[in-house]
C-alpha cells in the first residue's frame, strides 16, 4: 500500500481506538455507580422493613390504650342466649385486639365467663385439650352446635304466625316481631299483614280507619303514635275520676257485717248506680266490667281460684299534678343498677305500685304473678288487672331508711311509685305534711330499716326537752329545734349494730393503771362529772379487774376536760381500720361553693354504746371510786373509726356532694344561699331522724368563710388559720430533739401551703435523727427562721377545678424535689397555686443524674395530684428546667426504672413540656 495513502488510515484507526478506550472507562464508571445505588436502595429497603416490623419501645409506650369495657354477663347454657353472648364476646375482642390477639386467649376468656352447665362443658373440653380449643372460630362453632337453639326458618314462621301484642306496649311487641321477622324469610307484604293482625283491637281499628302504611317501619311508627293518643285519653279520664272521687265515694252504699264479701275480695265493692248504668248502656258485664259477655256467663264469676282478691285504690291512684299531694324522694336499687324518683304517699291505696312505663324505661326486672289481681277504684269501677310485679328491690327513703320490697306493676302516668296503706301501717312514719319530710319512724324500723340510727329515747318527754340557746341559729331552722336539745343528747342510747366492740389480742388482759392525785378544783370537777354521768346512766360503778388512770386537762377557756389513760388497753386491742377522711380531701370538693355552715355534734361519742359484755374493759380509777362506761368514751383506739362509720352511714347520700364529715365536725357548702338553706335543712333533718344532736353554740351558719380543720375556707380559696400561723411565729427556738419534733409535726400539717417545705426544713429534719447529736447550728437557725417567714407569706390556695387546665411546675436539687400545682384564675387571668409538694431525696435517689432527678420530680408530683390530673378534661402543662418528658418519649433505650415511669406517664394527658427557667 502506498505510504502516502496508509498514514491517514492509521491516524483514523488510532483515533477510533482512543474513543473506544474512553467509552470503556465511562461504562465501567457507570456500572460502579449503578452497583452503589443498588446497595443504597437495598439498605434503605431493609431499614424501612425494620421500621415497619420493630417500632421503638418508646412509641408503643405512648400509644393510646385500649378502651376499658365491662365483661359480658356470664352464660349459663340458656339456648336462646348463646348467640347474643358470643356476639358480646366478639365485640370485646374487636375493641381489645392486642389483649386477645391469640385464639387460645379468646377461648380462655369465653370459658371464664361460663357458669352452671356451660362451665361444666367448657371445663371438660379445656382439660381434655380438645382440638376445637386451638382455634377460636372452631370453638365458637362447637359452642353454637352444643347450646344454640335460636329460632330460624319454619320455626320462626310458626312463632311469627301466632305472635300477638296482648297486654304489651307497641314497642315491646315490635321488638319481638322484628327479631322473628329477620329469621323467618317472609317478604314485606306478608310481614305487614301479620304485624297489623297482631295489634290490639283498639289500635287495629284506628289504623284501619286511615290509609295503611306500605312498610313495616312506617306501620310501627303509626301504631306507636296511636298508642300514645289512647294513653292520653285514658289519662284525661283518670283526671275526671280524681276530681270527682269525693262525690263518687259518697254514693257508695254502706255495707253491713253480713253483706258478704269484704272490700279486699273480688267483687267485694258494690258498683254505684252511675257505674251500673254505664255498663248497661255499653253492654258490659255487670260483674267484671269486661265486654263480650254478660254476668250470667262471666268467666270470672265464681272462679276465685284463678284471680286473687281485688285491691282498692284512690280513684285510679295516679294523681294529677295539679292536685295537692304528698310525695317523698326515694332511691331504688336492684342488681347492677339504681334510680331515684318521687313516691306518692296514698293512704287509700291497698298496696305499693310502680308505673309500667317507668319500670320499662329503667329496665327493672319483673315477674308474672301466680294469680292475676283485680283492681278497683273507690267508685267501684274496675281497673286493668295486675299480672306482674317487680323482683325484690331495695327501697331507700329519707337517705338511710332501707328495706326490700316488691311493687305491683300498674299504669300510673303521674307518679312512678305509690306507697300505699300497708306500707304506712308497717313503718308508721311521722310525716311533716307541709315540708313533705319524715320526722321519725316506728320502733321496729330502728332495728330492721335504720341500721345507722339511734332509736328514740323514751325516757325524755317532749315537755322536758330543752333545745338550748338558739340565738345564733337562723329562724329557718327553729322548727327543728329538737336537734339542738341538750337533754336528748345526754340520754343513754340503747344497744344497736354500731356498738363499739373491744376485742383483745389472744392471751392478753387489760392492765390496771395508776391512781392520779387531784387538786381541789379537779376534785370538785370530778364530783360534778360523776354525778351527771351516773344520773344519765353513761357510767356505772364497776368491780372490773381492769382500771385505767383518770385525770383532767385544761381547755382553752380554762375549764377542765376529763381524760382517761387507755394506752395500755389500746396496745392489746384488735384495731378497727375503718378509714378517716384525709384532711386534704375536704378541700377537693369545694369548687364553686360560696356559702358555708359548720356543725359540731353534741356528746358525739356518748351516742354510741359499748358492746354488751365489753363494758368492764373500760373501767377507770378515781379517788371517789371505780367505774366503767356504758357508752363510748374518749381515748379508746377504735372510737374514731366507729363514730366515723356511724356518721358516714347517716349522711352517705350527701357526702362529698354538699357535705364533708370528719368525726363530729360537719361542713356544709353550697353555691347560693337559697340552695344552702335547703342543704342545711336536709342535714339537720337527717341528724334529728337518727337522734344525733348539734351543739348550737359551736356552730357557724351561712358564712362566706369558715374555719374548718385548721384552715380558713372561703369562696376565694383556702388559707392557713391565722391563730395557727401566729403560734408558729411565736414558737421559741427548740432546746431538744423532742421540742424540735413537736415543732416540725405542727408545721408539717401546713406543708401543702409552703413552697419547697421539704428542702427548707431539711437541716431541721436532719437534727431529729437519733444517729446524730442534737446541736443547734447556724444552718438550723436559718432554716427555722426561713420556715417561719414562709408561714407569714403563704398564699391563698385556690380550689382545683378539673374542667380547666392545670399547670405543674417541678424543680429538683441535690437534696430534694418540689412542685407547684396551679390554675389560671378567671377573674384576674393570673396563675394561682392550688397546692405545693416537696420530697426529700433518699440516699439512693441523690445518686440520680440531673435528668433522672427531674423525671423523679415529675413522677412524684403527678402521683401526688393524680386524682385531679388524671381526671382533668383539659390536657395539663408541665414546666421543667429540662425537656425530660420529651426525652423519655423519644429514647430508643430505657432502663427498667425509666420504663416504669414511661408506663405511668401514659395515663396522663400532657399537652406541652415547656422550659420554665425556674
Q: What is the model's pLDDT at position 415?
A: 83
Q: Is 681 domain-assigned? A: yes
- Contact (CB, 8 A) for 473 and 699: yes
Give the domain range for residue 167: 153-241
874 in the same domain as 727: yes
Catalytic site residue from 2, 138, 346, 479? 346
Cell of 814: 441535690
Nearest to 328 by CA among 433, 243, 425, 413: 433
Q: Is 100 domain-assigned? A: yes
Which stretches of the chain drop beneath a pLDDT of 70?
Answer: 1-6, 46-64, 149-155, 233-278, 281-283, 286-325, 376-381, 399-400, 432-436, 439, 443-444, 446-448, 450-469, 583-588, 871, 911-918
Burial zone of 252 (CB within 10 Å; 0-12 exposed, 13-18 middle, 19+ buried)? middle
Question: In residues, how long is the chain?
Answer: 918
Phi, psi (degrees; rounded to nearest 5) at 288? -105, -10
Nearest to 683 by CA among 483, 485, 493, 486: 483
How far is residue 435's CA from residue 371's CA, in Å, rounded to a whole number? Answer: 39
283 in the same domain as 331: yes
Q: Is 29 domain-assigned? A: no
Which CATH number goes with the domain that contains 874? 3.10.20.370
757 in the same domain as 886: yes
3-class secondary-structure state, position 336: coil
Q: Is 255 domain-assigned? A: no
Which CATH number goes with the domain that contains 584? 3.30.70.270
3-class secondary-structure state, position 358: helix
Domain stops at, among 388, 421, 437: 437
How far is residue 305's CA from residue 760's CA, in Å, rounded to a whole number? Answer: 86
Strand ranges (DSSP E) for 543-594? 548-554, 560-565
Which CATH number goes with the domain that contains 379? 2.40.70.10
678 in the same domain as 810: no
Q: Pick left, alpha or beta for residue 93 (phi over 0 → left; psi -120 to 50 → alpha; otherwise beta).
A: alpha
858 alpha-carbon distance from chain centroid: 30
Cell of 635: 381515748
162 in the same domain as 131: no
3-class secondary-structure state, position 293: coil
Work out whether the CA dihedral 904, 910, 914, 918 comes out positive or negative: negative
Q: Is 504 domain-assigned? A: no
- Contact (CB, 8 A) for 258 and 266: no
Q: What is the number of structural domains in the chain?
A: 5
Cell of 204: 287495629
Strand order across the 806-812 sheet: 831-840, 816-824, 806-812, 876-880, 910-915
746 in the same domain as 687: no
3-state helix, strand, coil in the chain (%, to 5): 40, 20, 40
Nearest to 762 by CA among 781, 749, 780: 780
Domain stops at, among 681, 715, 749: 715
603 in the same domain as 558: yes
Q: Is 836 domain-assigned? A: yes
How far is residue 709's CA from residue 598's CA, in Å, rounded to a whole number? Answer: 11
- Contact (CB, 8 A) for 532 and 548: no
Cell of 669: 357548702
Cell of 100: 386477645
pLDDT in tens, 236-279: 554 444 443 333 333 333 333 333 333 333 334 455 666 666 67
Q: What is the model's pLDDT at position 242?
A: 43
Phi, psi (degrees; rounded to nearest 5) at 377? -85, 170
- Contact (CB, 8 A) for 768 and 708: no
Q: Measure the N-to-C terminal CA separation of the chain; round to a whole number of Å.
A: 99
Q: Give the DSSP letter string of 525-538.
A: HHHHHHHHHHHHTS
Q: Is 463 domain-assigned? A: no
787 in the same domain as 850: yes
pLDDT in tens, 17-76: 778 777 778 887 878 778 788 777 777 776 665 554 444 444 444 455 777 778 888 888
Q: 231 catalytic, yes or no?
A: no
CA distances from residue 624 to 445, 567, 620, 629, 762 in whole angstroms, order as listed = 41, 22, 11, 15, 50
Q: Is 446 domain-assigned? A: no
Domain stops at, among 119, 147, 175: 147
Cell of 368: 308474672
How far is residue 62's CA from residue 872's CA, in Å, rounded to a whole number? Answer: 18
How far is residue 47's CA from residue 833's CA, in Å, rounded to a whole number? Answer: 49
157 in the same domain as 143: no
552 in the same domain as 679: yes
- Contact (CB, 8 A) for 699 and 600: yes
- Quickly count helices (H) and strands (E) in the chain: 30, 29
How many CA within 13 A on the CB side of residue 496?
25
689 in the same domain as 544: yes
Exposure string for 129-165, b = 16+ CB within 10 A, e = fewer: eeebbeebeebbebbeeebbeebeeeebbeebeebeb
Strands 382-390 and 366-377: antiparallel
277 in the same domain as 233: no
Bridge partners for 550 per DSSP: 564
Amino acid at each position: 500500500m502506498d505510504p502516502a495513502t496508509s498514514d491517514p488510515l492509521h491516524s483514523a484507526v488510532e483515533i477510533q481506538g482512543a474513543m473506544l478506550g474512553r467509552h470503556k472507562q465511562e461504562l465501567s464508571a457507570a456500572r460502579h455507580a449503578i452497583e452503589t445505588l443498588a446497595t443504597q436502595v437495598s439498605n434503605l429497603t431493609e431499614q424501612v422493613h425494620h421500621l415497619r416490623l420493630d417500632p421503638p419501645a418508646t412509641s408503643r409506650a405512648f400509644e393510646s390504650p385500649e378502651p376499658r369495657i365491662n365483661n359480658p354477663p356470664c352464660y349459663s347454657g340458656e339456648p336462646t342466649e348463646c348467640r347474643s353472648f358470643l356476639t358480646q364476646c366478639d365485640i370485646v375482642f374487636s375493641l381489645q385486639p392486642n389483649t386477645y390477639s391469640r385464639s387460645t386467649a379468646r377461648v380462655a376468656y369465653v370459658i371464664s365467663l361460663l357458669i352452671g352447665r356451660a362451665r361444666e362443658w367448657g371445663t371438660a373440653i379445656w382439660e381434655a385439650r380438645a382440638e376445637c380449643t386451638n382455634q377460636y372460630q372452631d370453638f365458637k362453632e362447637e359452642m353454637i352446635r352444643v347450646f344454640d337453639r335460636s329460632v330460624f326458618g319454619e320455626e320462626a314462621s310458626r312463632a311469627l304466625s301466632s305472635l300477638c301484642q296482648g297486654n304489651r306496649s307497641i314497642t315491646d311487641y315490635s321488638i319481638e316481631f322484628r327479631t322473628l321477622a329477620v329469621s323467618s324469610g317472609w317478604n314485606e307484604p306478608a310481614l305487614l299483614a301479620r304485624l297489623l293482625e297482631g295489634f290490639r283491637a283498639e289500635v287495629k281499628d284506628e289504623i284501619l280507619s286511615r290509609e295503611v302504611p306500605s312498610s313495616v317501619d312506617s306501620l310501627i311508627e303509626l301504631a306507636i303514635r296511636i298508642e300514645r293518643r289512647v294513653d292520653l285519653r285514658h289519662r284525661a279520664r283518670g283526671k275526671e275520676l280524681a276530681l270527682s272521687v269525693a262525690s263518687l265515694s259518697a254514693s257508695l252504699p254502706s255495707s253491713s257485717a253480713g253483706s258478704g264479701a269484704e272490700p279486699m275480695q273480688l267483687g267485694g265493692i258494690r258498683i254505684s248506680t252511675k257505674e251500673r248504668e254505664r255498663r248497661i248502656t255499653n253492654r258490659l258485664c255487670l260483674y267484671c266490667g269486661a265486654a263480650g259477655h254478660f254476668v250470667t256467663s262471666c268467666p270470672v264469676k265464681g272462679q276465685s281460684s284463678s284471680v286473687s282478691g281485688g285491691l282498692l285504690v284512690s280513684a285510679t291512684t295516679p294523681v294529677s299534678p295539679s292536685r295537692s299531694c304528698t310525695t317523698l324522694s326515694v332511691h331504688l336499687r336492684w342488681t347492677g343498677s339504681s334510680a331515684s324518683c318521687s313516691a306518692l304517699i296514698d293512704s287509700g291505696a291497698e298496696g305499693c305500685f310502680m308505673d309500667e312505663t317507668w319500670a320499662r324505661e329503667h329496665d327493672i326486672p319483673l315477674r308474672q304473678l301466680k294469680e292475676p289481681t283485680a283492681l278497683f277504684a273507690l267508685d267501684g269501677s274496675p281497673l286493668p288487672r295486675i299480672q306482674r310485679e317487680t323482683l325484690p328491690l331495695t327501697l331507700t327513703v329519707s337517705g338511710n331508711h332501707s328495706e326490700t320490697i316488691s311493687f305491683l306493676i300498674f299504669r300510673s302516668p303521674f307518679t312512678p311509685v305509690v306507697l300505699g296503706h300497708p306500707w304506712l301501717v308497717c313503718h308508721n312514719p311521722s310525716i311533716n305534711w307541709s315540708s313533705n319530710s319524715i320526722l321519725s319512724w316506728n320502733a321496729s324500723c330502728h332495728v330492721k330499716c335504720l341500721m345507722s340510727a339511734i332509736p328514740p329515747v323514751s325516757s325524755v318527754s317532749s315537755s322536758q326537752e330543752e333545745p338550748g340557746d338558739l340565738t345564733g341559729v337562723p329562724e329557718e331552722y327553729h322548727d327543728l329545734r329538737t336537734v339542738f336539745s341538750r337533754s336528748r343528747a345526754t340520754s343513754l342510747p340503747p344497744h344497736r349494730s354500731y356498738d363499739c366492740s373491744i376485742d383483745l389480742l389472744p392471751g392478753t388482759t387489760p392492765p390496771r393503771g395508776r391512781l392520779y392525785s387531784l387538786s381541789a378544783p379537779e376534785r370538785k370537777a370530778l364530783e360534778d362529772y360523776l354525778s351527771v354521768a351516773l344520773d344519765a346512766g353513761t357510767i356505772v360503778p364497776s368491780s372490773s379487774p381492769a382500771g385505767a388512770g383518770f385525770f383532767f386537762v385544761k381547755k382553752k377557756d380554762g375549764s377542765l376536760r376529763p381524760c382517761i389513760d387507755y394506752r395500755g388497753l389500746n396496745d392489746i386491742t384488735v384495731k378497727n381500720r375503718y378509714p378517716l377522711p384525709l384532711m386534704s380531701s375536704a378541700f377537693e370538693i369545694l369548687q364553686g361553693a360560696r356559702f358555708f355552715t359548720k356543725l359540731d355534734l353534741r356528746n358525739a361519742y356518748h351516742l354510741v354504746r359499748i358492746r354488751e359484755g365489753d363494758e368492764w374493759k373500760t373501767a377507770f380509777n378515781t379517788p371517789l371510786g371505780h367505774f366503767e362506761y356504758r357508752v363510748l368514751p374518749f381515748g379508746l383506739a377504735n372510737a374514731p373509726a366507729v363514730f366515723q362509720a356511724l356518721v358516714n352511714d347517716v349522711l352517705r347520700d350527701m357526702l362529698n356532694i354538699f357535705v364533708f364529715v370528719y368525726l363530729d365536725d360537719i361542713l356544709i357548702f353550697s353555691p347560693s344561699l337559697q340552695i344552702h338553706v335547703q342543704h342545711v335543712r336536709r342535714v339537720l333533718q337527717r341528724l334529728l331522724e337518727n337522734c344525733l344532736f348539734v351543739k348550737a353554740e359551736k356552730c357557724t351558719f351561712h358564712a362566706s368563710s369558715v374555719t374548718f380543720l385548721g384552715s380558713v375556707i372561703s369562696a376565694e380559696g383556702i388559707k392557713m388559720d391565722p391563730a395557727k400561723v401566729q403560734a408558729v411565729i411565736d414558737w421559741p427556738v427548740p432546746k431538744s430533739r423532742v421540742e424540735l419534733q413537736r415543732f416540725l409535726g405542727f408545721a408539717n400539717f401546713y406543708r401543702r401551703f409552703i413552697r419547697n417545705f421539704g428542702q427548707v426544713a431539711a437541716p431541721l429534719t436532719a437534727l431529729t435523727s437519733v444517729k446524730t447529736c442534737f446541736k443547734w447550728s447556724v444552718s438550723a437557725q436559718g432554716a427555722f427562721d426561713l420556715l417561719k417567714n414562709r408561714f407569714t407569706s403563704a398564699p391563698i390556695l385556690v380550689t382545683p377545678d378539673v374542667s380547666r387546665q392545670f399547670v405543674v411546675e417541678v424543680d429538683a436539687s441535690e437534696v430534694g424535689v418540689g412542685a407547684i400545682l396551679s390554675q389560671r384564675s378567671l377573674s384576674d387571668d393570673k396563675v394561682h397555686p392550688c397546692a405545693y409538694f416537696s420530697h426529700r431525696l433518699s440516699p439512693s435517689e441523690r445518686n440520680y443524674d440531673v435528668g433522672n432527678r427531674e423525671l423523679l420530680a415529675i413522677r412524684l408530683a403527678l402521683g401526688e395530684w393524680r386524682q385531679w390530673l388524671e381526671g382533668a378534661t383539659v390536657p395539663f402543662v408541665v414546666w421543667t428546667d429540662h425537656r425530660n418528658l420529651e426525652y423519655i418519649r423519644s429514647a430508643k433505650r430505657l432502663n427498667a426504672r425509666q420504663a416504669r415511669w414511661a408506663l405511668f406517664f401514659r395515663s396522663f394527658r400532657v399537652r406541652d413540656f415547656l422550659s420554665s427557667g425556674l
